[in-house]
Amino acid sequence: MVNPKPGTIRHAVTRNGPLWIIFSHSMSIRLTEELMVSSNKTIDGRGVDVYFIKGAGITTQYVNNVIIHGIKIHDIVPGNGGLIRDSEDHYGFRTRSDGDGISIFGASNIWIDHVSMRKCSDGIIDAIMGSTAITISNSHFTDHNDVMLFGANEEHTIDKVMQITLAFNHFGKRLIQRMPRARYGFVHVVNNDYTHWEMYAIGGSSHPTIISEGNRFVAPDNNNAKEVTKRVTEDDWSSWQWRSIDDEFENGAFFVQSGPEMKTRPFALKDMITPKPSSYVQRLTRNAGSLKCRVGEPC
C-alpha cells in the first residue's frame, strides 16, 4: 500500500502528473485496501475486460479531474485500513473503508462513464462532503440496495454546492432504492432508463433540487412502490424544487412534483445536457455499461 510496484494500478493512480491509464490485457483486480486516486487521472478499460472484484473500492478524495471509464466493479467489501499511499509525496493512515464501489469525497470534475457495477457492501457510488461537477453517464447498475447517495448528512451544508448529472444510464434488475438519494445540491436526471426498483427510484432530504427530464420509469408490479419519488423528512417539502419534464411512466409509475413551476432552466444551457425525448431512452441506453471495444475498431 505504501510502495506500490510500477506497472500496477495503485502505482499509476498515485503519480503526481496527469496520466491516462490503460491495461495491457484483460484482468481481475482485487484491491486489498481502497484505491486512492490522485488528480488528473483517467482509468480507461477499453479494449480489454477489467474487473475490480471481491476487494475494496475506488476513492477520489479532495482531488479533481478524474475519469473512470470502461471497467466492471462488483462484490466490493470494506478494506481494513492502514498506511496507504495517495500520491508520490504522501501516504497516511486510513480507517476502515465503507465498501463503496466508487467513493467521491470533497472532489470535483469527476466523470464516471460506461461502467458496469453491482453488489457493493455500501453504496455503488457515493458523493459527499462538498463534491461537485460530477457526471455519471452511460453506465449499467444491477443487484443492489442503496445505489447512490449524494450528501451523507443533514449537518453537511457544504453539499449545497453539489451539482451532479445522471445521463443515459440503465438502472436494471434487482435494485431497491436511491437512484439517487440526494441531500442539498442540484441533481439533473436526464434520459435514464429505470426498469427496476423495489422501494423508490429518486429520493432526498434537506431540500435538494432535482430536475428529471426525458427519463423512462417502469414501475414494479408491487402496488406499494409505484411512486418514483420519496422525500425523507418530517418538515414541509412543498417548496422543494422537484420537477418531472417530459418523462415517460409505465406500469402505473408516477412522480410527485413540488416547488414552483419552472419558468426557465435553473442553470445556463451550457451547464445542463439538453435531453432527447423519452421515446429515445431505450436506444440511448442500449449500450450502457462497459463496452466490448477492440483496439483499432470503433467502440
Q: What is the pLDDT of residues 43-85, one digit of tens each?
A: 999 999 999 999 999 999 999 999 999 999 999 999 999 999 9
Q: Compute the distance between CA of residue 224 and CA of residue 245 in angstroms, rounded to an integer.
A: 24
Q: Cα separation of 217 and 226, whole Å?
A: 10
What end-to-end distance do the CA atoms of the chain give, in Å? 34
The total of other beta-carbon atoms located within 10 Å of residue 255's CB is 19
Contact, 216 vs 234, CB < 8 A?
no
Cβ-contact 246, 214 below 8 angstroms = yes
pLDDT at residue number 269: 59
Give the span between the Cα atoms of 15 and 227, in whole angstroms: 46
**Domain ranges across the chain:** 9-284
Torsion angles phi and psi, residue 157, rounded to 5: -70, -10
Show which residues are catalytic. 178
Task: Give the containing element (helix H, strand E) for 91.
Answer: strand 90-94
Q: How far is CA 139 from CA 17, 143, 260, 298, in A?
A: 28, 14, 32, 18
- Low pLDDT (below 50) residues in the chain: none
CA distance 125 to 128: 10
How far is residue 178's CA from residue 229's CA, in Å, rounded to a whole number?
Answer: 10
Give the Å distances, CA to CA, from 159 to 74, 126, 179, 207: 27, 13, 18, 11
What is residue 268's predicted lDDT score, i.e. its pLDDT? 58
**CA-CA distance, 189 to 252, in Å (whole number)?**
20
- Three-state DSSP class for residue 251: coil
> How many angstroms separate the CA atoms of 78 and 56, rounded?
5
What pLDDT shows up at residue 296?
Answer: 82
Helix (H, G, I), strand (E, B) or coil at 159: helix
Whose grid coordinates read 462488483?
74
Q: Which three cell numbers stand for residue 244?
A: 418531472
Quote the pLDDT of residue 267: 63
CATH T-level assignment (fold) for domain 9-284: Pectate Lyase C-like (2.160.20)
| pLDDT value at residue 104 | 98
Instruction: Express as a percent the part of the chain with pLDDT over 90.
Output: 89
Whole-structure pTM value: 0.96
Q: CB–CB of 45/73 below 8 Å?
A: no
